[in-house]
Amino acid sequence: MDQSKREVKSNAEVSADDHKYVFHSWSAQGAISPIPVAKSSGSRFWDFDGKEYLDFSSQLVFTNIGHQHPVVVAAIQEQAGILTALAPQHASDTRNEAAKRIVEVAGADFVKVFFTNGGADAIENAIRMCRIHTRKHKILSTYRSYHGNTGAAINATGDPRRFPNEFAAGHVHFWGPYLYRSAFWATTEAEECARALEHLEQTIIFEGPNTIAAILIESVPGTAGVLTPPNGYLEGVRALCDKYQIKWIADEVMAGFGRTGKWFAFQSSDVHPDLITFAKGVTSGYVPLGGVVISEEISKTFDQQVFPGGLTYMGHPLASAAAVATIDVMKSEKMLANATNIGAKIFAPGLDKLAQKHKVIGDIRGAGVFWGVDLVTNRDTREPLAPYGGTSPAMNELVAACKANGMMPFTNFNRIHLCPPCNISEADANLGLEILDKSLAIIGKYYTGQ
């Protein structure tokens, strides 16, 4: 449609049609009021009445190169003029180029990519690969996790969205490291790491190593709170997998493609997984795409044996073109370095200053443009500002204040996450902290501690 001929609408009109025709995810339909979004650019978007929002959520943590990057938009437009769709049984130069680039940034231990439409179906197929490769059936994953809303993926998930969806078999949960709310009575990062690994090994032993196909973990758990693992934890997981002949699936759907300042978050460790699942940032969400990056060992299993899985739109030409352009522009514009700089220079010291000013901030953790802030009513008791699995008046007021002040936050339970695009400017990063500062002042009344 010619943009100049589009009917100019208001927030009220768009909201009315949204409520009338659209069924939203994870929601009671009558209890939500989505922001109508008219356009976007860079680190911002606007509603139909012209209100501007600084996007500190990257939508759902996927616009890693910002909104409407002209290079990627042009690549999608160019591909649309050549080949808009292709069945998966054919070969495609664009799909080949996307796979080649993804393998290259994953590292020398990986050889192929199985494309999917998103993160959940990437998890499904990674689990399937491990079960067939190992001829074992159980999948271990952490309680504080989210892996997607399909059969095995939602059962692997640790958060409350799993509860009404537990229909798949063979899933076992364990506690991952989280020092601020330690399940192991740890007082230091080293203690938390050692005790979490000991707990994982005991879980493996008592579940039976010969029944466990894979350990599935987010390299940095995202929606669960940006839970950056302590030094040595991923190395310990790798060692346990090798000891008990278990495969390691690294879920990089949210943490991957620059968010932590690395192509993949596991690359901050000295080890590598057997499979990597990805989505979101690989195309900055411009066209849906996900996939599984496969090690040589697992790939060889299916050289002669049929892999029983596939999707109609896997490696879709428009999505593949978007992936190629996204990876290329992230390299040429040095977005990983920018994300690292923003994290070290702006967010780390800026959040520390906010914590000195606002007592509701209990804990801060993160890297790059991927940060989580635990909010509490009392620093001594660490009582969350909202209950597990729910919200609270305080959190509702905080979100409303952020939006009113012109920033779109990402929040979950008692946490606010800072997840702007990897190419956000220093000025906009500082502006986001200023808005957060102003918004946190609204909820200071909820703090009950000293």
DSSP state of 226: -
Q: What is the mean pLDDT of the chain?
A: 97
CA–CA distance, 52 with 405 (Å, rounded to integer): 9
- What is the reported pTM? 0.96
Q: What's the domain range around 372?
A: 3-68+334-446
Residue 6 has pLDDT above 80, yes or no: no
DSSP sequence for 236-253: HHHHHHHHHT-EEEEE-T
Q: What is the dihedral of CA 77, 82, 87, 91, to 10 degrees?
A: -110
Residue 450's pLDDT is 87
pLDDT at res. 1: 47
Average pLDDT, stretch 288-296? Answer: 98
Residue 4 pLDDT level (bands cut at 50, 70, 90): low
* Co-location of 326 and 345 in the same domain: no
The answer as to whether 433 is a domain residue is yes
pLDDT digits (tens, 9 = 90+) for 133-189: 999 999 999 999 999 999 999 999 999 999 999 989 999 999 999 999 999 999 999
309 lies in the same domain as 398:
no
Q: Looking at residues 228-257, what average pLDDT do you find?
A: 98
User: Do 338 and 326 belong together in one domain?
Assistant: no
Give residue-wise pLDDT tens across range 303-324.
999 999 999 999 999 999 999 9
Report how far apart the first and last C-alpha atoms of the chain are (Å, whole number): 59
Check pLDDT > 60 for residue 2.
Answer: no
Q: Which two tokens stand for residue 22?
A: 């659209």
Q: What pLDDT, on a 0 to 100 scale, did the predictor assign at position 7?
A: 80
Are 17 and 97 found together in one domain?
no
Cα separation, 354 vs 226, in Å, equals 18
Q: Is the pLDDT of residue 3 over 70?
A: no
What are the tens digits of pLDDT across the range 344-388?
999 999 999 999 999 999 999 999 999 999 999 999 999 999 999
d(CA 406, CA 426): 17
Determine the residue type at 212.
I
Q: What is the CATH number of the domain that holds 409?
A: 3.90.1150.10
Same domain, 103 and 155: yes
When divided into structural domains, the chain yields a total of 2
Does residue 76 sit within a domain?
A: no
Identify whether the C-beta of residue 37 lies closer than 8 Å to the C-beta of residue 49: no
Closest to 118 (Cα-Cα) out of 249, 277, 279: 279
Same domain, 362 and 422: yes
Q: Please state the rounded mean pLDDT for residues 264-270.
A: 98
Structure tokens at 215: 């350990």
What average pLDDT does the segment 54-58 reach?
98
CA distance 344 to 365: 12
